[in-house]
Structure 1
Amino acid sequence: MPAKISYAHLTIRYGGVALFAAAVALPGAASAQQTTDVPNDIRVVGHRDPEGLLPDQTEPKAVSAISSDFIVKQAPTLNAFQLVNLLPGANVASSDPYGLSTSSSLTLRGLGQDEIGVLLEGAPQNDIGYYYAYPSQFADPGNVRQIALAQGSVDLGSPTVVGAGGLLSLTLDDPKATRQALVDLSLGSFALRRVFARVDTGAIGTTGLKAFVSYSNTRADNWRGAGYDTRQHVDAKLLREWGNGNRASLALSYNDANSASYPSPTLAEWQAQGRNFNYDARYTPGDTNYWRLYRAPFRNLYASAPVHVGLSDRLTLDSTSYLQFGYGNSPYGTQLATTGNFLGNEELAQPIALPGAVDGVANVLGNYTGDQMRTGSVSKLTLQAGVHRITAGLWFDYGTDRVTQSYTAVDADGRPADEWGYRKKAIRTADGRLLAYENQRTVTVTKAFFLADSIALGPRLTIDAGVKGVGLLRSGRNYLPGPQSRVRGDNFTLLPRAAIHYALDDRQQLFANVTTNFRTPNEFTLYDSYDGGVVSTRGTDTLKNEYSISQEVGYRYIGPSLSGSITGFHYKFRNRQLATVIDAGGAQVNSTLNAGGQTSFGVDAEIDYRPAKGVSVYVSGEYLRARIDDDLPVGADYLPTRGKRAVSSPVVQIGGGGTYDDGRLFGSIAGKYVGRQYATFINDESIRGYATLDIALGVHLADWLDGKRTDLRVNAINVTNPHVLAGVQSVSTNAGDVVGRRGTLITGSAPAYYVGSGAAVVATVSRGF
């Protein structure tokens, strides 16, 4: 996505690092045996999930997951959003087949990705100011052990302030017990080339430590239009385990990417140009649509240190500390004049110096840069006291976000003087100040406590109750001249929840839950914006928080050859906040619309059949009914939206696929159908349903060679190559002109869409050492 940048993790606050250091220094520490006075629990009997499509679950809520046995058969470049596309409720719009572009979208049960919490090794990945998460920056798939998708709620102790849409959790593979190495080499369509190498240390002397580090380098041309993507990535994990389940780890993930954007057409542009709606391949003087002006460089570091320690036979401590850094630019092409400029509400009396100006006008690179730092820690104590399992915890998070929209000179060939948009290289006013359309710094402090009790009423029945209190403070500085200097927003919300789980027998489970969630408006809403020296949008701290109550009722069956679940869900929203993209001085900037109330209900289901060893057949589906409860205020009138379908909420989704692996040959197939999606609140514009299909075929060559892992596989992505719009990038209230409830003519504006990616083929050789 253009506009905001998602950032990093390294582990510094109370709890995690100190415990990790103690674990390394004290080999015999905290070896506690877990015992309880609870009656013997029902033993849920299932399968080891060797095919990786439906791991066993016992949570009192809907949870789906994929694991490494499935992931390893997919194309090696796919990001986490693309990998969960088969799971019920997951609606994924990808702009490129390889998952390298930041232009992608995930909705769950019709709720956007700014409503979905994302964790990597227990640390938050959502952007601190705009709540987006960017999957192209996540860990390499070859290092991911499992991706879990809780469609309806986040865990009580999850360090995230969004979650009405659910929780996406990535868990990295543990370092191997023995010293070994793996190298993957991939070649594919659109000049794709990729190398991935991983080294596992095995046990490091007598320290009890083991580690892995990996490096990948990927390059591919844009599948449509001019441009190319590059990505360098490093993952690493250091682990120590001791005693009965005690463990401490440090995980790092570094990403350095430069992505060429894909423009998002309106419906009229799509109908007129189709896949030819692209940035210009060649530069001509005055051209602001040249592809080099839309390359987005990002650098991000993520790190976290999860620790689990048994303090006694009844008390355990879990802590995850994290630190994140990131910087990137989402640029665009525009023009500036040497005179007639404003800085905030101040008209510049002196002309600015513009290299290459002709008749006082020059092409420039418009920068939209984000510079973030974030650190925090979440810790919880769990006490087993008879039939009660009591959990109490705290979460603290501190982050800074410096957002600048400045301008950089462009040479005669259309190449920016600095594609990163650094302020020290940007265009200045005659008196040396930074010429900027937007210039602000926001500090966000989140404090939360949570308390829960899980009561085992016999061997089959468990009742959970809990509450989370979340306080979020934003304070910021607007550096532009004008009436606004300091901003501040302060929120506190209590979020109660309850759940029940009943084991009918060793294989069957019933569950139900009720959950509350909230979301504050993003930081953009606090700040004034200017157009021609006049405040065009007034910043405010009085916007109401989104608040939702959701319920789930489900049945789950876990068998040796057949597993499945079905979940009914219901949501009720107040002040439903919808993410969209607006044009802010030429930049495509994430923003939020208040859509009033919304009611949603539906059914999710999935089933996995394993008729023989190495064979799995999987089917998932969702029915969703999402309706807007209120007429939408527009100016002094109301748009007649009551009873209309919610945007980006297809009524039907169906996924199907499977895997095969007989020890010599292996493969997978994955298909998905997504129904019609509306793009406006008034439902006067929509995109039709579409289907995608991915196929993989491979062979294990180890037995024919030296016994070491040697695999050859070919992945065909989106093999049917449908020419479709895959999702809504920016919603609008109404596409055409509409008469409001009070008789006012409300002018329409066109939504924009993601163009569904084309077909691609990738061949990969994997070799173990």
Structure 2
Amino acid sequence: MAALLLSVAWLALPTMASAQQAADAASDIRVVGHRDPEGLLPEQTDPKAVSAISSDFIVKQAPTLNAFQLVNLLPGANVASSDPYGLSTSSSLTLRGLGQDEIGVLMEGAPQNDIGYYYAYPSQFADPGNVRRIALAQGAVDIDSPTVGGAGGLLALTLDDPKERPGLLADLSAGSYALRRVFVRVDTGMIGDTGLKAFISYSNTRADNWRGAGYDTRQHVDAKLLREWADGSRASLALSYNDANSSSYPSPTLADWQAQGRGFNYDARYSPGDTNYWRLYRAPFRNLYASAPVHLVLNDRLTFDGTTYLQFGYGNSPYGTQLATTGNFLGEEALAEPIALPGAVDGVATVLGNYTGDQMRNGQVAKLTLQAGIHRLTAGLWFDYGTDRVTQTYTAIDAQGMPVDQWGYRSKAIRTADGRLLAYENQRTVTVTKSLFLADSIAITPRLTVDLGIKGVNLLRNGRNYLPGPQAGVRRDSYVALPRAAVHVAIDDRQQLFANITTNFRTPNEFTLYNSYDGGVVSTRGTDSLKNEYSVSQELGYRYIGPNLSASVTGFHYKFRNRQLATVVDNGGALVNSTLNAGGQTSYGVDAEIDYRPARGVSVYVSGEYLRARIDDDLPVGGDFLPTRGKRAVSSPTLQLGGGGTYDDGLLFGSVAGKYVGRQFATFMNDESIPGYATLDLAIGVHLADWLDGKRTDLRLNAINVTNPRVLAGVQAVTTNAVDTVGREGTLIVGQAPAYYIGGGAAVVATISRAF
């Protein structure tokens, strides 16, 4: 907390008497041509593949879309969303076949990934109207990024700066499934002589579930306070608060989908004993993110950059289940006395099963950059401390199926006869991450730059299992050195070549450390001996930035050891994130994107990816091995194609965006898959400012998934094999059915935006 206050204090510093560091002319590319109205494929000079969208593109999209949905057109991005509005937490993003637990996510320089399971939840991020830019690095992650497990790339959100002048912006939206949304943003302009400026926004969204019973609500607040100095120094404080109650859509197996299709839903009405009632599957979450990035120009050769962050979050992912008054266990301890269950009939009651997470996280990343002749030297530190309190408890429901407490608070949960918390899982984990990084960017010639760097990361997990049994404390300590190198060549003012080699690692998630109990015996034994994932990736790319045409093509190659693959397991009725060790994996392919601007206000964008991802090893299952060597990796479509176009002449504007995702396998044995599918979004709008008082007034209509494809959009839970298979040693390995995301349906949203 002290570090956060120190960073915020820079906002009030007087003007510093130092000159801004001179820009490197070799990396400063400027072209003259038609401005890109779509905001796709902006100028880049990084020695790695980077795609991005800007506010020019974001402002034309449906106002409820989350960050994953917004980057869907970019090469390599495979997005599976369970609802068209992006309000549900049931969503997935993969890059080059690597899941979202392999993708680092930053907002204003602060990490957004879950500290225990590495997931990020885009429905909790900042409102799109406050986002200036979303950058997607499909492979290499910046050496100073405060992330672990970034083999899949980096998604970085940058918030809009406060405006120079006071103002108010209001958006009103209405749409399909009784959607209603209000968004209001107030900018202070320059506050007196302080040099400070700020904005604060509030949004309120409600929509019925597009399939099945239920509805989603979301309240959100974003704020940013900024101070800038003439020499290029700046300091800011960004806050983002989210309060949502989202419905989790059930994920069918292939058999469920073939039998029921979109009718695979929770029950709309409650009857006694029903554990499938929709109110038992509403997930409330509250989160607060604070980030204080600082950039200080200390002299003409030395700069300091630091980001201090603080996060709090609490939520429940509940489910319906039944409890008996007798025959219960707490860990391995049999409960001799019956428990009190409100509403029990013949000793059995339907209850709300809670899976709650209570997280706190704070940290700081800081670096110094020194320009010394042809060398730009960087040295920095990253420290992160987080706690994660996870419990699976039970809460009573009333006669109508309404939970007594939807939040799953321990103080209101069902207890044993002697007053202890009745829990299927009860643990607390402390995760401490420490990192040192060093880098040198060498300008060998004005057009040739070589980057060298190394990052050392130490990740310590220390936890306690509060359930009675053989396990009490758990501990895992991992350290790894991650070298990297890159080359950038500016062929001329428009053409670039780049190449890089990057290393990454990640530890198994915290769930693997703990024992699980079923009927008083250990059903899954926690271990600290699982090997860390380690990967080496390479990229070779070409980039062209012209006045009317921009393009980028990148070839990539990955080699994994102990590939950690996220899945979902049924843990006592709750769907819990878990990890499988998939052994070795080799992937290679090509990403490409083109942005063509034939006339002012017109943009055409096309992207694509070819991916070949193969499993290198047979998979150990029990005492045998599944013959998986050479099989295709799961959730890794061979082909993806995206295309879009926009038109904006200052009066009328519109856009079209289409995406095709190829076949995806759901098991390591490749014995079950879902076919390829395509989606299409349309938008049309009008700028009314010139017809009124000159102030921004826009009216737009967004059509999401206009073709309404009835498809499975992605794999929610992978399995080793879906069909019974004989292993290498002759053992019959029983198949388990994977689960899938049902693609969101069609929706239409009308929005009017007005500035005051």
Aligned to 1:482: 469
Aligned to 1:181: 168
3-state secondary structure, aligned to 1:41:
helix
Distance in 2 (CA, whole Å) between partners of 1:209 and 1:35 is: 25
Q: In the alignment, does 2:420 pair up with 1:433?
A: yes
Distance in 1 (CA, whole Å) between partners of 2:300 and 2:335 is: 70
Aligned to 1:6: none
Q: Which amino acid aligns with 1:214?
A: S
2:654–2:685 Cα contact (<8 Å) kept: yes
Aligned to 1:285: 272
Q: CA deviation at 1:30?
A: 4.9
2:37–2:646 Cα contact (<8 Å) kept: no
Distance 1:55 1:287, change over 3 A: same
1:448–1:471 Cα contact (<8 Å) kept: yes
CA deviation vs aligned residue, 1:30-70 (integer Å, no higher than 9, x gap): 5433148x7x5264223654430111000000000000000
CA deviation vs aligned residue, 1:606-628 (integer Å, no higher than 9, x gap): 00000111110000000000000
Q: Find 1:46's aligned residue among 15, 26, 31.
A: 31
Distance in 1 (CA, whole Å) between partners of 2:592 and 2:251 is: 32
Aligned to 2:74: 87
Aligned to 1:153: 140
Aligned to 2:546: 559
Aligned to 1:321: 308
Aligned to 1:255: 242
Q: CA deviation at 1:89?
A: 0.1
Q: CA deviation at 1:29?
A: 2.4
Distance in 2 (CA, whole Å) between partners of 1:703 and 1:162 is: 50
Aligned to 2:641: 654
Q: Which amino acid aligns with 1:714?
A: L
Q: In the alignment, does 2:388 pair up with 1:395?
A: no
Q: In the alignment, does 2:391 pair up with 1:410?
A: no
TM-score by length of 2: 0.99
Distance 1:443 1:568, change over 3 A: same
Residue identity (%)? 83
Distance in 2 (CA, whole Å) between partners of 1:540 and 1:407 is: 27
Q: CA deviation at 1:13?
A: 5.1
Aligned to 1:5: none
Q: In the alignment, does 2:138 pair up with 1:163?
A: no
Q: Find 2:672's aligned residue among 667, 685, 692.
A: 685
2:36–2:597 Cα contact (<8 Å) kept: no
Q: Which residues of 2 match residues 595-674 of structure 1 at below 5 A?
A: 595-674=582-661
Aligned to 1:197: 184
Q: In the alignment, does 2:187 pair up with 1:210?
A: no
Q: Which amino acid aligns with 1:613?
A: R
> Which runs of 5 or more structure 2 residues have no equivalent in the other structure?
none
Distance 1:274 1:327, change over 3 A: same
3-state secondary structure, aligned to 2:80:
strand
Q: Which residues of 2 match residues 322-721 of structure 1 at below 5 A?
A: 322-721=309-708
Distance in 1 (CA, whole Å) between partners of 2:247 and 2:636 is: 28
Q: In the alignment, does 2:254 pair up with 1:267?
A: yes
Q: Which amino acid aligns with 1:426?
A: A
Aligned to 1:21: 9
Q: Which amino acid aligns with 1:22?
A: W
Distance in 1 (CA, whole Å) between partners of 2:43 and 2:37 is: 11
CA deviation vs aligned residue, 1:281-306 (integer Å, no higher than 9, x gap): 00000100000000000000011000
Q: Which amino acid aligns with 1:46?
A: V
Distance in 1 (CA, whole Å) between partners of 2:37 and 2:273 is: 58
CA deviation vs aligned residue, 1:328-358 (integer Å, no higher than 9, x gap): 0000000000000000000000000000000
Distance in 1 (CA, whole Å) between partners of 2:646 and 2:126 is: 23
Q: CA deviation at 1:19?
A: 4.1
2:36–2:603 Cα contact (<8 Å) kept: no
Q: Find 2:44's aligned residue among 45, 57, 81.
A: 57
> Which runs of 5 or more structure 1 residues have no equivalent in the other structure?
1-11
Q: CA deviation at 1:706?
A: 1.1
2:27–2:45 Cα contact (<8 Å) kept: no
Q: CA deviation at 1:590?
A: 0.2
CA deviation vs aligned residue, 1:336-390 (integer Å, no higher than 9, x gap): 0000000000000000000000000000000000000000000000000000000
Q: Which amino acid aligns with 1:130?
A: Y
CA RMSD of aligned residues (A): 0.9
Distance in 1 (CA, whole Å) between partners of 2:441 and 2:600 is: 37
1:31–1:242 Cα contact (<8 Å) kept: no
1:680–1:731 Cα contact (<8 Å) kept: yes
CA deviation vs aligned residue, 1:391-439 (integer Å, no higher than 9, x gap): 0000000000000000000111000000000000000000000000000
Distance 1:282 1:559, change over 3 A: same
